[in-house]
A and B are shown apart, each in its own frame.
Chain A
């Protein structure tokens, strides 16, 4: 269980989080739903350790590793599909292990035929698929997603959500996702926190359709 207690975060005079408390359960997908610009991404970045917070405590994050699917694909433009996934594995694995992991996850997202393609040769949906494969290929305890399916057309989005859920079922880990799309949250998450206001607060907690 990850527990955020009394988190306070402000940018100069703008207080984004104040006395903010939230729990995330193990092996569950939790969605943080709220309007754009309400501070959801800040919350995610605080959990990931990318942004500092002024006060409060976070429990259950010691020695935890993260994967992060960003709003943009954040792929290395000069590396192939393989090279991009390899980039996050090289630091911790030997060549043989990397090969095995690469094969497994590239196949899982259906990009076997595109291993040696560069990002500029792939469609937007395929690039996001690479980002998803990278996130799962990395041995993380917690997977963070920030509007990972935003800006894609409906059909593509449904396809990507399905492949995401298929991947998750084979490789269950705790997921915290941020979205402003209620349907997306309902389809993917077990728990949904509806957030809003400034400073940010939990308006409501709901169960998603994913059981």
Chain B
């Protein structure tokens, strides 16, 4: 097979694969035949369409989106700044590393419960998202800084380039691929933990709050519809950032 035909095949194959799994889902739900355990894809789609006509649906998505965005942006900002500082300074790295490892190994549920004690319901998901994404981004940025080509730094030293331009011209571009990898990993993660935190903190408008209500009232089709919303949004973001990452690192290899 010529390589040029592969992308074409892939384009045809992907919808077929998705269709196949939707078929499996439909088949299993037919077999079980109890909506409460496993609603069919069609029933889920209907629930989704019903939901999408309500203003509540869109404000909930918007609010959850805003929480993910804030938590995520703050963790990016903190991760990049602290990551660069810790990458450059051994002492700072040694000081911060145990903290990052501790956060990474803390169960998400513990973080959520602690956050529930500390914050108001709307802020809990933001804090949880930040705390879960931050160590991933921090670790990647530190690694990126440490991988900087020493020979380029030597060149900049001879030419007496100042710190700011070294940061902008050497450090930032060489850690960008690492940062992007960290962003993509933590973004999917960020969605999941934010929604999980919303389930427990139940802010007024939130996807997680609706998941919780759907569970309480045993509305499985709604539960599945809301879950697919999270999955689709998470996929969409990952795709978007992968495109951005591909553009940004185009020329570095």
Contact across chains for A88 and B151 when beta carbons are under 8 A apart: no
Q: Does A66 contact B (CB under 8 A)?
A: yes
Knowing A50-B154, A74-B152, A90-B165 are in contact, say whether A138-B159 is a contact too (CB < 8 A): yes
CA distance A49 to B157 in the complex (A): 9
Contact across chains for B160 and A91 when beta carbons are under 8 A apart: yes
Contact across chains for A91 and B161 when beta carbons are under 8 A apart: yes
Query: Majority SS of interface residues in chain A?
Result: loop
Q: Does A168 contact B (CB under 8 A)?
A: no
Q: Specify which chain B residues have a CB less than 8 angstroms from the CB of A144 in the assembled complex.
A: 158
Interface size bucket, B side?
10 to 19
State which of A50, A74, A91, A118 has its C-beta within 8 Å of the C-beta of B165. A91
**Chain B 164-206 interface 0/1 with A at a Cβ cutoff of 8 Å (1 = within):** 0100011001100000000000000000000000000000000
Interface size bucket, A side?
20 to 34
Contact across chains for B251 and A77 when beta carbons are under 8 A apart: yes
Q: Does B162 contact A (CB under 8 A)?
A: yes
Q: Does B18 contact A (CB under 8 A)?
A: no
**Min distance, Cβ A97 to any Cβ of chain B, angstroms:** 15
**Min distance, Cβ A70 to any Cβ of chain B, angstroms:** 7
Chain A: CB-nearest residue to B169: A87
CA distance A134 to B159 in the complex (A): 10
Q: Does A48 contact B (CB under 8 A)?
A: yes
Query: Majority SS of interface residues in chain B?
Result: helix
Q: Does B252 contact A (CB under 8 A)?
A: yes
Contact across chains for B152 and A91 when beta carbons are under 8 A apart: no
Contact across chains for B252 and A77 when beta carbons are under 8 A apart: yes
**Min distance, Cβ A79 to any Cβ of chain B, angstroms:** 7
CA distance A120 to B250 in the complex (A): 11
Question: Which residues of A are at the interface with B, using a C-beta cutoff of 8 A?
Answer: 48-50, 65-68, 70, 72, 74, 76-79, 87-88, 90-91, 118, 120, 134, 138, 144
New A-B pairs, 12, CB < 8 Å, besides A74-B152, A91-B162:
A50-B157, A68-B155, A70-B155, A76-B169, A76-B170, A77-B253, A78-B173, A78-B252, A87-B169, A88-B159, A90-B169, A118-B251
Can you report 26 residue pairs joining A to B where beta carbons are below 8 Å apart?
A48-B158, A50-B158, A65-B160, A66-B159, A67-B158, A67-B159, A68-B155, A68-B158, A68-B159, A76-B152, A76-B169, A76-B170, A77-B251, A77-B252, A77-B253, A78-B173, A79-B173, A87-B159, A87-B169, A90-B169, A91-B162, A91-B165, A120-B251, A120-B253, A134-B159, A138-B159
Q: Nearest 9 A-B pairs (CB), nearest first?
A: A88-B159, A78-B173, A68-B158, A118-B251, A74-B155, A91-B162, A78-B252, A87-B169, A90-B165
